[in-house]
Structure formats: C-alpha cells, structure tokens
Amino acid sequence: MRVLWDPYSFAKAVDGTQAENNILGTMPTGRLVISMSWPIMLSMLMQAVYNLVDSIYVARINDTAFLALSYAYPIQTLMVAFCVGTGVGFSATLARRLGEKKLEEANSVVLHGFLLYFLCWLLFLSFGLFACRPYLAACSNTAAVVEQGAAYLRICCCLSIGMCIQFPCERILQSTGHPAGFMIVQGAGALINIILDPILIFGFGMGVRGAAAATVTGQITGGVIGFFLVHRVRHQLPISLRSFRFQSSLTREMCRIAAPAILMQSLCSLMSLGLNGILNLWSETAVWVLGVYFKLQSFVFMPVFSINNGLISIVSYNYGARDGTRISSSVRFGMLAALATALLGTTLLWLCASPLLSVCFNAGAEALSLGIPALRMTALAFPLAAASIICSSAFQSLGRSVDSLVVALLRQIILLLPAALLLVYLHPAWTFLSFLFAESATCLVSLILYRRVYHEKILPLKT
C-alpha cells in the first residue's frame, strides 16, 4: 500500500488496518531507516547550530556571562539526559504495543509517559527553586558568575515544562511512523530560540536572563506544536483520558528501559569532567583542544545517533509484530549507514583539522601543534564508536538495556578515563589515542553481545 502523508499536515490515508497504515511495519527497511533518521538528523543539526549561536551571543555580553553559562551547562545536560532517557523507555514501550496492535494499551503507555515527564518537570522545578544558587556558589567564588548563572538556571529549570511536553510528543510522532514530526517540533523551537536570542539579550537588555527566556520560549513553542501534531494523528492512535488507570507494572516496564538510558545520557558529563581533569595534568591547551573536539564530533555523531533513534522505534515495532527478518535487515542497513557516515567524518576531520582549528577556532601556534595530531587521533575512533552505538539501539529495543549500559560505560568511563590517565603520564602526546583504544575494545564487546542477542531474540522470530 502506498502511504500518503504530508509532513506539515500529517494527513494519513486511512483505508486499512493499523499495521497497513504504520510505515514501521510496511516500508522497505532501507528506505524506512532513512526516512526515520533524516528528520531527526536535521533537527539535531538545528539544535547544534543553535547551541553554537547561543554561545556566541552570550560571549558578546562579557566573559563573566559566558563563564556562568559554562557552569550551568552540566545541569542542562542532565535535564536533557532525563528527558532523552525517559523518551527511550517511552518510545520503545509504545512502539512495541503498536506493533502488537494493542491500541488500548498503547493509549495507556502514552498517558503514563506524560505522567513520567510531569514528574521530571517537578524534579527540575525543585532544583530551580532551591538548588541553583548553592550549586553555582559551589562552582565559583565570583559573585557576578554566581548571580548570572543562578538567574539563567532558575529560568531554564522552573520553566522547563515546555521541554517535558515536547519530548513525549516527538516520541509519539516517531513511534506512529511520522518521523518528520521530530524535525518540525525541535526545529520550530530552535528557530524561535535563535530569533529571540539577540532581541531579548541585547534589544531588551536582559543579558543571560534573555538567553534563558529565549530557550524556554522555544521549548514551549515546540511543545505546543507537538500537541497539535499528535492530535492530527489521532486516527492512528486515539488518546483518551477517560480510560486512564495507573498501572505500576507499566510504569516499571518503562522505567526499566529508561533508567539505563538516563544513566547513559548522563555519562557524557562525567566523561568530559574526567578528561578535563586528566588533561589538566598535562596542559590547559590540551583541555582547549578537547573542547574543540567535543564541538566537532557532535556533527559526526549526529547522523549516527539519528540512525540509532530511528532504529529504536523500527526494531521495537517489528519485535512486537514478531518480524525477525525486518529487525535484522533494519539493523544491518543502519549499521552500514552509520559506518559510512563515520568513515566520512574520519576522512574530513583528518584532512581538515588544520583549517578548522586556525580559521574556525582562531588557534595559535601551540594549539595547532597540539590540536592537529590530537584531532586526527580522535577521528580514527569514529567508525568503531558508530558500530557500538548501532548495537546499543538493538539492545534497548529488544529489552536488553543492561547490555546497552555496559557498552556506554565501557566507551565513556571504564576504558577511556584509565587509558587517558595512563597515557598522560607515559606519553602525553598520545593521550588522545585513548579514544581509539576505548572504542576498539568496546566495539568488540558490542559485537559479541549483539551476536548473543541475535540468537536469543531475533533468530527465533525467523523460524
């Protein structure tokens, strides 16, 4: 059946069963992986561009303002980690119910998902009201930094309700076979944010408070648009509050998948803090280079994580539909696409390390001499990391979240930090090779775990 839908109106052709309408169960897997991934990729690109533009605007206020936002960044990262991790549990559970054609249970999953996101907002609200200033005071002794950082965080935390609405709406659209909804919801919020930043920061003279206000306004806008788009797909997934009954078993199921994902999302903050401390033993220039690496690698891993997010819904749906052939072919295509993307990123970073550092980041002689080989060392790890990330999507979708957690811990903490610490003492110039060592060992473990999951979960569905 030819699926007809407009990414702006999301009008669906409804002339068959739920399975016939949902592209997760009908579209050829290669095209499905691409169609589920590219809207997420574009929305992530818009978010990355927004983060860069937002930092540029705040830096123009003064150095104190930029420092205040730097201290606020780990808390914002943790907030996103809670929302993304909760979304993993939510979307995997929802897609599985849709694949099993259990619409009443899918409706219950949606309502329980919104309840979990409401609890996330209460957590953020509590931090914004009571913990912002103590946190900033613990980070800095400069009164201006504490004042501006607390003001920024208080607005972002207390008014994060928009983010907690936006995320579940994105996951509903993704799980019902409308991946462009992810792009529209996030893209609209990011666009509003970029437009309002200079107006509020400079036009109204709000400073960092203006940056925070622009952020939460963009999130609330995305949440409102998300609600509208979810309403437009009500023929596929009717959502009603009347039949809601709290089910502790369903909540536990989502939390069991979400908890490792939240922890995994939080590992990035811990990794960057650990690497900063280790590299400080060698040179502050090395810490600067690490910051450049994190900004550049996001544009390489962005497509890989987009494929990962798309695969979670695809594999979960077809696992519920007990279609092992579609599961394995989707993972295979996703792996090839991720490896091709990572190899391209490795090539570009290897060739363009010098101009990127000198032109984009205005690096001096010392930074260039250290940064060019360092960035090339890190680039070698991209394909290995891509393979591990794709394996993780299968683990999460097939109820093996612990395996996914093991992979993330190996990649970002258990192998990486000790290797970096050892190299910084033995041969500092090779410290950035710790990424290659950690990703190589993790990739081997990931493939072994996937082989086991394939024989236990996927292969029986093919017989």
Residue 176 has pLDDT above 50, yes or no: yes
| Pair (450, 368) in one structural domain | yes
Total count of domains within the chain: 2
CA nearest neighbour of 405 among 271, 269, 261, 306: 261
Residue 284's pLDDT band (boundaries 50, 70, 90)? low
pLDDT at 347: 95
| Pair (77, 203) in one structural domain | yes
What is this structure's pTM?
0.68
Task: Kindly give the interhelix angle for 63-99 and 382-397, rounded to the nearest 10 degrees.
Answer: 50
Residue 47's pLDDT band (boundaries 50, 70, 90)? low
Least confident of 72-81, 415-424, 445-454: 72-81
Q: What is the rounded average pLDDT for all residues in the chain?
A: 82
Amino acid at 138: A
3-state per-residue secondary structure call for the chain? CCCCCCCCCCCCCCCCCHHHHCHHHCCCHHHHHHHHHHHHHHHHHHHHHHHHHHHHHHHCCCHHHHHHHHHHHHHHHHHHHHHHHHHHHHHHHHHHHHHCCCHHHHHHHHHHHHHHHHHHHHHHHHHHHHCHHHHHHHHCCCHHHHHHHHHHHHHHHHCCHHHHHHHHHHHHHHHCCCCHHHHHHHHHHHHHHHHHHHHHHHHCCCCHHHHHHHHHHHHHHHHHHHHHHHHHCCCCCCCCCCCCCCCHHHHHHHHHHHHHHHHHHHHHHHHHHHHHHHHHCCCHHHHHHHHHHHHHHHHHHHHHHHHHHHHHHHHHHHHHCCCHHHHHHHHHHHHHHHHHHHHHHHHHHHHHHHHHHHHHCCCCHHHHHHHHHHHHHHHCCHHHHHHHHHHHHHHHHCCCHHHHHHHHHHHHHHCHHHHHHHHHHHCHHHHHHHHHHHHHHHHHHHHHHHHHHHHHHHHHHHC
CA nearest neighbour of 84 among 314, 319, 264, 295: 264
Residue 363's pLDDT band (boundaries 50, 70, 90)? low
d(CA 247, CA 222): 29
Least confident of 88-97, 161-170, 255-264, 283-292: 283-292
Q: What domain range is 122 assigned to? A: 1-246
Residue 167 lies in a domain: yes
| Pair (159, 100) in one structural domain | yes
| Pair (229, 273) in one structural domain | no
Residue 447 has pLDDT above 90, yes or no: yes
| Pair (279, 237) in one structural domain | no
First to last CA, the chain: 26
- Which of 198, 223, 246 is the endpoint of a domain? 246
Least confident of 308-312, 320-324, 361-365: 361-365
pLDDT at 67: 63
Residue 330 has pLDDT above 80, yes or no: yes
Tens of pLDDT, residue by residue over 382-393, are: 999 999 999 998
- Which of 223, 246, 269 is the endpoint of a domain? 246
Burial profile 16-42: b = 16 or more Cβ within 10 angstroms, e = fewer: eebeebbbbbbbebeebbbbbbbbbbb
Residue 253 lies in a domain: no
Least confident of 221-225, 290-294, 375-379, 453-457: 290-294
Residue 252 lies in a domain: no
Contacts of 275 (CB under 8 A, 6+ apart): 290, 416, 417, 420
pLDDT at 463: 67
Residue 163 has pLDDT above 80, yes or no: yes
| Pair (168, 278) in one structural domain | no
d(CA 432, CA 430): 6
Task: Kindly give the interhelix angle for 103-130 and 143-158, rounded to the nearest 10 degrees.
Answer: 160
Residue 179 has pLDDT above 80, yes or no: no
Residue 403 has pLDDT above 80, yes or no: yes
Residue 299 lies in a domain: yes
| Pair (30, 65) in one structural domain | yes
pLDDT at 40: 67
Residue 236 has pLDDT above 80, yes or no: no
Residues 371-377: what's their mean pLDDT?
Answer: 91
Residues 423-441: what's their mean pLDDT?
Answer: 94
Residue 330 lies in a domain: yes
Tens of pLDDT, residue by residue over 87-141, are: 888 888 887 787 777 778 888 888 888 999 999 999 999 999 999 999 888 766 7
Residue 183 lies in a domain: yes
pLDDT at 431: 93
**Of 7 and 351, more confident:** 351
d(CA 287, CA 272): 10
